[in-house]
Structure 1
Amino acid sequence: MTPLDLTSDPVSLTAALVDIPSPSHHEKQLADLVEAALRRLPGLPDSQIIRRGNTVAAATRRGLGRRVILAGHLDTVPLAGNVPHQLIDDVLHGCGTVDMKSGLAVYLHLFALLADAPDLTSDLTLIAYEAEEVESRFNGLGHLAVSDPEWLRGDLALLGEPSNGIIEAGCQGTLRLRVTAHGARAHSARAWLGENAAHRIGPVIARIADYEARRVDIDGCHYREGLNVVQLESFVATNTIPDKAHVLVNFRFAPDRTEDEALDHVLRYLAIDNLDDGFTVTLEDSMPGALPGLQQSAAAALIESVGEVRAKLGWTDVARFAPLGVPAVNFGPGDPAFAHRVEEQVPVAQITHVASQLRNFLTTRPS
């Protein structure tokens, strides 16, 4: 396999990363190449590079008074016949071009270019991590936060998530709650002998459908919450009254709520305490949001450099920096609407534009 040249232009580096397949749980080859490329950088001792599983991190230690973390995941969703890359009319096509090998390429390129450069104004931490596209328990950044939390400490963290070259600040929290109604089976010709669980859960669904989403402004970023049924299941046979009905409810909450506050809000809204013993409720998953933290000086300097900022309406790994008090934003090339699609693609001009904006930020003295 051809070694990676991190100092090559970020478009060429994106193409090289795309051509190295790395679906979740299969990042080793790419992690090996990234680690080897980092260890070849002049002026960066091996002691400033770590490897944890298929997560690779490197850091400068120049005493510049401010630290910026550049983090991006190595993995993609499963391939769909969209590797190797194709370059068509200045648009790069291929798996991961948007989510998020173009963002990772920009971060790797700038780290390699600036790590020993005299015009760098912030120390840098680079984290290329595994398993973002699967269950949270596999997430390499999450593992690093537990095993080596000092590597997530800094004045500002950037995640290379696709954001169309606009800063997307903070992120929403998310929780999933399973509500199960219990009934009694019976032949559908003698339905009165049973109790239809699907009918029993109907009022819960109606309540969710009537939910009025809260909108909240935090640091000028507008977050809109949402409560929705994302899975509905109730079936035994076509001639049988079902004895169970399941509704999986997803609540996306603004980052001014804690996880406990969000759960309490949903339970109160659904009037769970008023349900009889024929219902069970299980919290299946919960992740906190992240406040934008745009008033902190490093974040304000980035906004001044880039010029555009909006709220992140989904959940991303920026939330892993919130417990450490590190403001974190999403900033990368690519339209997120193309993420995970067979026709995933990113304009090369957007890659170079994001790289130029970020280089300007990293080489401008804080005011």
Structure 2
Amino acid sequence: MTSLQNRFDPALVDPATLPSSDLADLLAAVCDIESVSGDETALADAVEALLRDQPHLEVTRDGDAVVARTLLGRERRVVLAGHLDTVPLTDPPNLPTRLEGTGDDRVLWGRGTVDMKAGVAVMLALAVELGRQGDEQSTEPVVDLTYVFYDHEEVEAAKSGLGRLARHRPDLLAGDFAVLGEPTSADIEGGCQGTIRVEVRTRGVAAHSARSWRGENAIHAAAPILARLAGYRAAEVEVDGLVYREGVNAVGIHGGIAGNVVPDACTVTVNYRFAPSRDLAEAEAHLRELFDGYEVTVTDASPGARPGLDDPLAADFAAAVLELTGGVPKPKFGWTDVARFAELGIPAVNFAPGDPSLAHADDERVPVRELAVCRDALRTWLRGA
């Protein structure tokens, strides 16, 4: 990577011109600061510098998480949140970004354009614009706003910057409703699936492969586990009017120590994505029932979140946004940090530019027009228009 790709170009995010500038330029600048999980500091520095330049915002830094808040004395507070990190780059790297097409058909390609710096760029534009003083036309929102830009989302949950804030500074996350900038193709996606990973083990007896009858092959003993998975029929579960499709899949298998040894142990790693109508205990019980007779160990688990669209503020948001976008609410397939907000008692939805099926893809890309659609929808709702 060149040094330029790891530097924030202030000309692209001039606080005086950002709201009326091309959002594609802002997104490109944010994406071109490489921020693979664990290396978010440069981008967090840039975000912090931009936000501290806004006199209407109170800014707090916690590690590589940056929180900015308006203090307008409104009765309600809305949280807009997004993570700064990305999955690793490709080889050769899919940065710097490149912009293709013209006008409304422009597309920005590169790591992070979908997951989820498009959402981050929209949030930055709104943070600079909403609440700014001295304009001929008021830009004050009808609610107070909290912007949360956090680190370590694309790795194990224990490292999550949002989780760290929830544990140590929950006051910074307080609000009545939250919008998470995970990619949704500018649709509203309610709630999220829960996820649990388990290791299903078989035991055998080691032996020289030339005298295999003296042993018991633990990998062969895993065949019934794979058969159960192959025959599994995923449930479709309706939760608060949205239909979530579940799935149980082997995501890894390990066994054996050498090419001439009958293995005495084998582990099949299984991931269960479940509808938010189940809690973690129910999800674990389902897997233990599925793999009855085998040793099952939970290695990672995160609860899902119900859609929450029955909350009055959430319903108001959905009605306002969908009137502008013409879409309908959808379920979120996958786990997102709306679950963390749900644990804090804050209704939350996913809403941002970018096709979620392109998240983590080598050909990650976002239509520029979706940036403006999401910014304009959020701006209109937050200003009470």
- Both proteins in one fold, TM over 0.5: yes
The within-5 A match list for 1:110-189 is: 110-116=126-132, 117-189=138-210
Separation of aligned partners in 1, 2:365 and 2:358: 7
Does 2:7 correspond to 1:23? Answer: no
Q: What does residue range 150-299 of structure 1 map to in structure 2 within 5 Å?
A: 150-271=171-292, 275=293, 279-299=294-314
Deviation at 1:230, TM superposition (A): 1.1
Partners in 1 of 2:343 and 2:290 — Cα distance? 28
Q: Aligned equivalents of 1:249 and 1:78: distance in 2? A: 23
Q: How does 1:93-112 map to 2 (within 5 A)?
A: 93-112=109-128
Question: 1:155-209 deviations in whole A, cap 9, x for unaligned?
Answer: 2111111110011111011011101111111233332211111222222222222
- Corresponding position of 1:304: 319
Q: Is the 8 A contact 1:5 1:13 kept in 2?
A: no
Find the counterpart in structure 2 of residue 83 from structure 1.
Answer: 95
- Paired residue for 1:350? 370
CA shift at 1:83, angstroms?
2.2
1:68 matched residue in structure 2: 78
Distance 2:125 2:9 in 1: 17
**Counterpart secondary structure, 2:219:** helix
Q: Distance in 1 between matches of 2:237 and 2:174?
A: 28
Amino acid at match of 1:248: T
The question of whether the paired residues in 2 share the 8 Å contact of 1:115 and 1:124 is answered with no
Letter in 2 for 1:233: H
Q: Contact 2:251–2:271 at 8 Å: present in 1 too?
A: yes
Matched residue of 1:99: which SS?
Answer: coil
Match of 2:5 in 1: none
**Aligned equivalents of 1:94, 1:210: Cα separation in 2:** 38
Q: Are 2:56 and 1:43 equivalent residues in the alignment?
A: yes
Give the TM-score normalised by structure 1.
Answer: 0.92
| SS in structure 1 at match of 2:147 | strand
Unaligned segments of structure 2, at least 5 residues = 1-7, 133-137, 323-327
After superposing on structure 2, the runs of 4+ consecutive aligned residues of structure 1 that deviate more than 4 Å are none
Q: Secondary structure at the match of 2:211?
A: helix
Q: Which amino acid aligns with 2:357?
A: A
Shift of 1:125: 0.5
CA distance in 2, matches of 1:350, 1:60: 26
User: What RMSD, in angstroms, separates the aligned Cα atoms of the two structures?
Assistant: 1.6
Letter in 1 for 2:318: I
Structure 1: gaps spanning 5 or more residues: none
- Matched with 2:357 is 337
Q: How many residues align?
A: 356
Q: Is the 8 A contact 1:195 1:241 kept in 2?
A: yes
Does 2:46 correspond to 1:56?
A: no
Residue 339 (structure 2) pairs with residue 319 (structure 1): yes
| Deviation by residue 1:205-243 (Cα, 9 ceiling, x = unmatched) | 222222232221112111111111111222233333211
What amino acid sits opposite 2:289 in the alignment? R
Distance in 2, Cα, partners of 1:232 & 1:208: 13
Residue 119 of structure 1 deviates from its aligned partner by 4.3
**What do the CA deviations read for 1:30-86 (whole angstroms, capped 9, x no partner)?**
111111111111333xxx211000100011121222211100111122233222221
Q: For 1:233-258, what per-residue CA distance to the aligned partner results, in whole angstroms no more than 9, with x for missing partners?
A: 22233333211111111111111111
Residue 2 (structure 1) aligned to one of 3, 9, 21: 9
* Percent identity between the two aligned chains: 48
How many angstroms apart in 2 are the aligned matches of 1:196 and 1:103?
50
**1:293-314, CA deviations, whole angstroms, 9 ceiling, x for partnerless residues?**
1100111112112222100010
SS at match of 1:201: helix
Give the Cα–Cα distance (whole angstroms) in 1 for the partners of residues 368 and 234 of structure 2: 37
Contact (CA 8 Å) 1:11, 1:352: kept in 2 or not?
Answer: no
Q: Aligned partners of 1:342 and 1:261: how far apart in 2? A: 35
Letter in 2 for 1:207: R
Q: Residue 175 of structure 1 aligns to a residue in which SS? A: strand
Higher mean C-alpha deviation, range 79-88 or range 133-142: 79-88
Give the whole-Å Cα distance in 1 for the aligned partners of 2:251 and 2:9: 44
Counterpart residue type for residue 99 of structure 1: D
